[in-house]
Structure formats: C-alpha cells, structure tokens
Structure 1
Amino acid sequence: MIKRFIKLVATALLISSSLLPWNATADRSGSPTSNVLPGFSSNQAENLLVQSLLEINEGQLREALSTIDQLLQAVPNFRLAHLVRGDLLMAFAQQSTKFGDYQNAAVSDFQEEAKVRIERHLSAAQDGKIPDVLWRMSPEQRYAIVVDTTKSRLYVYQNRDHSPQHVVDYYITMGKNGSEKFVEGDKRTPLGVYIAGKKLDRKLPDFYGEAAYPLNYPNPLDKQQGKKGHGIWLHGTPKDVYSRPPKASDGCVVVTNPDLKALTPVLQQGTTPVIISNSLQWISPGEAKHRQQALDQAVEQWRHDWETQNTERYLSHYAKDFFSENGNLENWSQNKRRIQATKAKVQISLSNISMFRYPNGPASMVQVSFDQDYKSDAIANRMKKQQYWVWDNQRWKIMYEGPA
C-alpha cells in the first residue's frame, strides 16, 4: 500500500525522477522548531511543504504527516497542505487511489503549485550569479524585483556597493492565461520593465489581500506595440487563502500576504523597478558589467555629441524606427536641427544611470534611465529621462526617448 501511494503521489505531483534525483532526501537541518508561529515566514512554510513531499517520496509517511501538521498549525489556510494531509490520512486508511482521489481543475492547480515549489527547492545554487536583466542599478535604486513567470518566482535584489545582491525570493501567481499581455481582459501578465508605484491608499476588496502596488503598464514600448489594458498590480491574497495556484490572476502578480508585508520596505518608496520575464537567464556580475560597457560608451558619446551641438552625429545615435511622445525620427530630427541651428553653448550631465535588459523585446534592447541636467544661457532644468537602446547594425542606437 505504501509503495503504491508513493508512486501515485510522486506521479501526480510530478516529483518522479524527472524532478527528484534518486539522492534527493528530506532536509531537516533548517527545519523550524515546534514553536513555529512567532515570526513564521513563507519560506519556512515552503520548506516544510517540500520536506513533507520528499518524506513521502522516501516512504516516510508518518514523518510526512507530522511535518504537514506542523505546517498547518502555523499556516492553517494553506490549501495545498490540506490536500496533502487528506491524502496521507486516506493512505493510512488504505482508501487512496490517486493524489486528491479525484482529478479536476482544482487538483491540477494544486499539482502545478507543488511542482514549481519543489523545482525551486531542488534548483541548483546560482553561486553569486544574477538575472541577466540586471545590468546596472542606479545609486537611488535600493532594490530591484525580478519576476520569472516560467518558475512562478519573484526575486528581490538589493543594491550593495553598486552590485545587485540576492535578498530573498517568493512564490508568485500570474495571469490565468500565462504571460505576454496584449489586450484588455486577456488575463495575461505583461512582460517588460515596470515601476511599482506607491501602495494604493483606497480601501480594496479582501480579494486583493493586505495591499496593492500598481505597475505602470502599459509603458511607452507597450503603447507603441499597440498593447492595451490597465490595472496590473502586485498584490496579496484573500484572508482565507494562503496562496493561489501559479496561474490564477487576471494578469496581476500575486504573492501571499506575509510576503507582501515583507516586501513593504522594498516597495514603500514607489520607485522600485519590477522586471517581468519568461526567459530569465543567469550571469555573473562581471559578465553584466562587461555587457554594459559598450552601452556606457554609447550613452556618453550621445551626451557628448549633444553637448557639443554636433547635430548630425547626435542624430546618428537614433534608430530609424525611433519614436517619442512627439512623433517619429523625422519629427525629432527637424526639431533638434531647428533648436541647435543657433549653436548655443550648453552643458549636459547625466547621473543616477540604470540599465535593465528588456525581457522578450523585439530586439536586443536595454532600458536606460537617468537624471539629466541641462544648462544653457536661456534655460536650466533637471529631469528624469528614459530611453530604450537597441542593438542595430553592430552598434547601440536609441529607439525611444522621453520622461521617466
């Protein structure tokens, strides 16, 4: 009976040899003590869940039941844990035929949640590597959030000594129909580089959990590509639900309420970049710095050509399909030639530069943001500016420019 149950659970949860190597065992070294309620974290909850599943895989059903009971004492609204516990009890009663004892959409959702949580537990350590989208964080950016939709995971990075350092990562829920949002109501999560605004201060239905932070979807690139929709938030779960299935939102990024509370210091400034990708790769910080060097040079040359009023060289930095709020490259060029015809002396400096590789873009693209100080005899201003640079004919060129 026990061997049959192990096989059924392992098959249903997809933790057979495709996910669990033969030497995968339950790790009790980091398990919380019996007094788990004070300060209990979501990562502790996930560790206990995975521990119970690994114990099932090893045939240690009584240990698995004890682990699940410990988890449910701390997180009584963890539905996946309740399902595992129910099947364990049926196994002891020799009544279980398959995981959940029935197959429907709800059980399939639980299986997917278990699968992505186990995959995270068994994933190889990144050994200091960072997501390939994090090329450069500005000094003002204390944190950056990277979401990998294929792994149902949200990673938090802190800017330490000009280098992104991994702080923590959490399980997430995304859109019912996956990623790459395009139209209103398609129930997909957008892919791109966004900013999480300040917490919404209006009273929200319990459905959105403890709080909600709006993302600036659609961004300029989304609008240029004809993408529609609005109201994409990072938010929590209803009070009676600990976590939702991997694909269950209307397009928002959803985390558990404890995780949302933990993210408050990260999100409270209303300026945290949130990069959402479905093809995340991992590189060393040295490789990230190497990739940004050529773009650093291109940005500096653009600034220099503008400051020296070398109009044609300045305009050569713009791609043929360039766009802005004021039109295309032709409109932009006419305006700049008119302004710079006087050859007025100007001073231009850039600071707080950030560079994030744009995920799933139409070409090799990097979003560059900075503070721009512009001074001339007639005007002096400071503004936050944003550009999209693309790799075009073996050089970096600007595809978009506008206020950040």
Structure 2
Amino acid sequence: MFVHLSAPSGHRAAAAALWLAGLLLASSAWAQSQKARRATPSAAAAVAPTAATTALRDGQAEARLMAVYKLVAEGRSREALVQAENLARDYPNFQLAQLAVGDLLMSRTRPIRHLGDVAPEPDSARSIQAATTLAELRNESRQRVDAQRSRPPANSVPAQFLELAPRSRHAIAVDASRSRLYLFENTPKGLQLIADYYASVGKLGIEKVTEGDQRTPLGVYFITSRLDPGTLKDFYGAGALPINYPNPLDQSRGKTGSGIWLHGTPPDQFARAPLASDGCLVLANPDLERILRTVEPRSTPVVIARQLQWVQPHSVQAERKSFEAVLNAWRNAKTEGDMKRLLGFYAPDFQSYRKKPLDEWTQVLQAEARALRGRELQLKDKSYLRWTDSADTMVVTFGEVAEGARTGPVKRQYWTRRGQHWQIFFEGVIG
C-alpha cells in the first residue's frame, strides 16, 4: 500500500525546493539530457516507468530517479512519491531510491532541508557511520545529477581518441571528476556515444602509483579478458573486465600494483559511493551487464581521465595527420632496411615485453627487415590514442603486413614526444 502526499502548498512547496536545492536539474537541462539519451533503448524506456516493470535494464534506475527529482522540483510531490516507491520496489537495494521515499514521506510533517534530512542521533559509532553513509549518498546523488546537467556536446568525443581501427568495435572513457563511464560504438561514421553510467573509483581517488594505495589509475588501457562471474565472489557482482594496468607507460614510471577491474556490486548493494573501491571501477550490475554483453576483450580501449575533454572529431585531424607522417617515416625506414634511420625512431630507454632493451630489440628489427626481402611494409587497422599529462604519449596499434602477404603480427607501440621529435619507448606483438 502506497502513501500519497497531498498537493504541495506553503511550507511543503518550500520544503520540496529546499530538499534538492543545488542538486536538481533545471527543466531545460533535463530536456536536453533526455534528448541526448534517447538513442539508448534502456534510457528511453526508463523515462516513463510503470508500476509493473518486468525488465531491469541498464541506466533505467538512474533515469527513474532523475524523473523523481524533476517531479519534486516542479512541486508534484504526490507523483514523485508514487514513482519513488515504484523505483524502490523494483530496485530494493538502490539506497538513493529508499532515501527519496523517506524524505517525501517525512515532508508531510515538516520541511525537508536537504537530501536525507534525519534528526541527528547521540554521538556513537552507529551515528558516525550513519552520518558517513548519508554524506556518501548525497555525494552520489550530486554526481549523478551533475552528469545529467552537463551532457557532452552533440557528436563530440574525448580528445584521446584520435582514430580507432574497425577491429575496435567499442571504446570506453571514464571521467573521474563526474563519476561517469561513457560507452561508445565505433561506426563507419566515427565514434557514437551509446550509453553512460555512474561509476565509483578508488577510496583515495585517482592517480594510482603503488600497490595497495586504493587509487584508480589514469591513462590509456585495454580490456584484457572477461572473467566468468561463476568463478568470482559475490562482491564483484555480475562479472569483471580486467584492464592492463600497469601499462608500458606506467611501468616506465615505476608504478606498481595489479588487479584493476571494471566490476559490479554485491547483491545487497545497487551502487557504491563515488570513492569506494580499492582502485577498480565499480558499476551497478545492470549497467555492467550491458558492457559485458557489448565490449570485446583485447581490442576495447579504456581511457581513464581526471576530467574528459570533449572535442569534435574534425578538430583532432591535424594532430592525427601530423603523427601519421611520423609513423609512415618509421614504416619507410623499416621497408628500406635502413637500420640507422630506423633506430633513430627508438628512445635510448626503449623496452619491449620481457624487459628486452634496445640492443636486443635491434636484432629483432634486423631480422624483420631481412624477412621483408624488399617488399613494402603495410600498416593495417591503425588506432591512435593520445595521452597527455606531464608528457605527451601516443599509443599506436596496427597490423604489420608485408606486401603480398595475407596476414601479419598485430603490434602496439608507445611513442613519447621529446622536444620536437616522437620516439618509441615500447613496442611489442599483441596478436
């Protein structure tokens, strides 16, 4: 049985406004966010929830929570309570939904000043924990709302994605400042944003450096495998997708640690606080299930940034062409077997897999050049991902195929800009 609010008036209307002051979407921002999300079936279906929801799909719970917030902002508390109760019933482990129900019921008797407006308890371990939990929920709510208010510009992409090969059918980008993961499809017309989700990062934030520092790494990574949820503890929810931290750039900087995954939540928890993991990226299980069904291990890049910079694809064409000229010069030197010119593209501190230094890698390059026997070297399915922090790094993946051959190794190179020149500090075969 549901308890309905009377139409808000007087102090009740003021209470509703105070409840979400600074958090709720303006009507225009809400309309804009819904227009941007209509391309994803899960979000579109969630905008108008019904009392008999049968399929719990990705993005639905958040969209329904935003609809509750909008109703409260419009002074439609009766409808807000009905939808909040439906949401809490369909997702009983969604704490923000339960909190919305509690606040809306409480507003019948007194003004609600902020989300989770409960009377303080006497100082105790229990009251401290309750206060901590409320603070985390308010932060989660704020992050979800801010992400809906500030949608990426239409047709824009994160600046790191200069070019993706067709074999990379999807890509992921994470904006830690917004607790947001963005899922892209790589179409013939370029990257298209198809979904985005709330995501938690490390307890102590970002910029992982050492094992056990409870931070999430920043950089360009790739999904390495898909772990069977049947082999995992309930703690990881619907499953897990490991990424290749530490990558060659991390290793060159002496960073340590391992086991950074995208994973879900335990059965009794819909979502975790924005800062909650030991360094992993944590999503609600319905959202992770969508990603598990969608992405491909090994070929899916994952960019994790402090804050994503969104650009129009045409704005990075000049950077891509400039670097492509350098890569073609490397290819030409290898085709011609000009070892002096070829080695000029490699940094003195070069490393390959198994810590092979440049003098050993030189022997590999010589053998590969001889095997060409005068045939032109062709680079197929090229991807360029750029990472810029204290240094400028280009992560390049391509198929290396000799003229006339049907196949060849898939290689990945890490280039760094030193002065006016790009140099390779890592190269290895990945497939």
Correspondence list, 1:279-294, <5 A: 279-294=307-322
CA distance in 2, matches of 1:25, 1:351: 43
Q: Distance in 2 between matches of 1:95 and 1:3?
A: 9
> 1:114-193 residue pairs with structure 2 within 5 A?
114-161=141-188, 163-193=190-220
What are the equivalent positions in structure 2 for 1:194-273 lying under 5 Å apart?
194-201=221-228, 203-273=231-301
One-letter identity of the residue aligned with 2:253: Q
One-letter amino acid matched to 2:422: W
Instruction: Decide whether the 8 Å contact of 2:15 with 2:112 is kept in 1.
Output: yes
**Does the 8 Å CA contact 1:132/1:280 hold for their aligned counterparts?**
yes
Match of 1:67 in 2: 83
What is the root-mean-square deviation of aligned Cα atoms in Å?
3.1
1:95 Cα deviation from its structure 2 partner:
7.1
**1:43-73 per-position Cα deviation (integer Å, ceiling 9, x unaligned):** 2321221222233333332232122123223
Aligned: 1:395 with 2:413 = no
Report what 2:107 is aligned to.
Answer: 91
Match of 1:2 in 2: 12
Equivalent position of 1:382 in the other structure:
408
> Given the superposition, is the C-alpha separation of residues 370 and 80 from structure 1 closer, same or farther in structure 2, using an over 3 Å criterion?
same
Give the conservation status (yes or no) of the 8 Å contact 2:160–2:385: yes
In the TM superposition, residue 234 of structure 1 has moved relative to its aligned partner by 0.9
User: In terms of mean alpha carbon deviation, does 141-150 or 103-112 score higher?
Assistant: 103-112
Q: Are residues 1:39 and 2:55 paired? A: yes
Q: Identity across aligned pairs (percent)?
A: 35
1:93-119 Cα shifts (integer Å, max 9, x gaps): 227565321472111111111111111
Gaps of 5+ in 1: none
Structure 1 residues 364-383: aligned runs within 5 Å: 364-373=392-401, 382-383=408-409
Contact 1:48 1:71 (8 Å CA) reproduced: yes
Q: Distance in 1 between matches of 2:50 and 2:364?
A: 69
Partner secondary structure for residue 104 of structure 1: helix
Task: In structure 1, give the amino acid aligned to 2:245.
Answer: Y
How many pairs does the alignment contain? 395
Structure 2 regions of 5+ residues with no counterpart?
1-10, 36-43, 121-129
Offset at 1:343? 11
Matches of 2:113 and 2:151, distance apart in 1: 33
Closer/same/farther in 2, CA of residues 300 and 118 from structure 1, 3 Å limit: same
Whether contact under 8 Å (2:152, 2:310) holds in the other structure is no
Q: State how far apart, in whole Å, the 2-side matches of 1:21 and 1:361 are.
A: 35
Q: 1:216: how far off? A: 1.5
Q: Work out the CA distance in 2 between the residues paired with 1:66 and 1:26.
A: 22
Q: Distance in 1 between matches of 2:381 and 2:300?
A: 14
Instruction: In structure 2, give the amino acid aligned to 1:63.
Output: E
CA shift at 1:248, angstroms? 0.9
What corresponds to 2:378 in structure 1?
349
- Answer yes or no: is the 8 Å Cα contact 2:170–2:186 preserved in 1: yes
Q: Relative to structure 1, is the Cα distance of residues 36 and 364 closer, same or farther in structure 2, using a 3 angstrom cutoff?
A: farther
Tell me the CA shift for residue 279 of structure 1: 2.5
TM-score (norm 1): 0.87
Displacement of 1:154 after TM fit? 1.1
Contact 1:78 1:243 in 2 (8 A): yes
Structure holding more helix per residue: 2
The 8 Å contact of residues 26 and 55 in structure 1, kept in 2 or not, is answered as no
* Alpha-carbon distance between aligned partners in 1 of 2:428 and 2:314, rounded to the nearest angstrom: 30
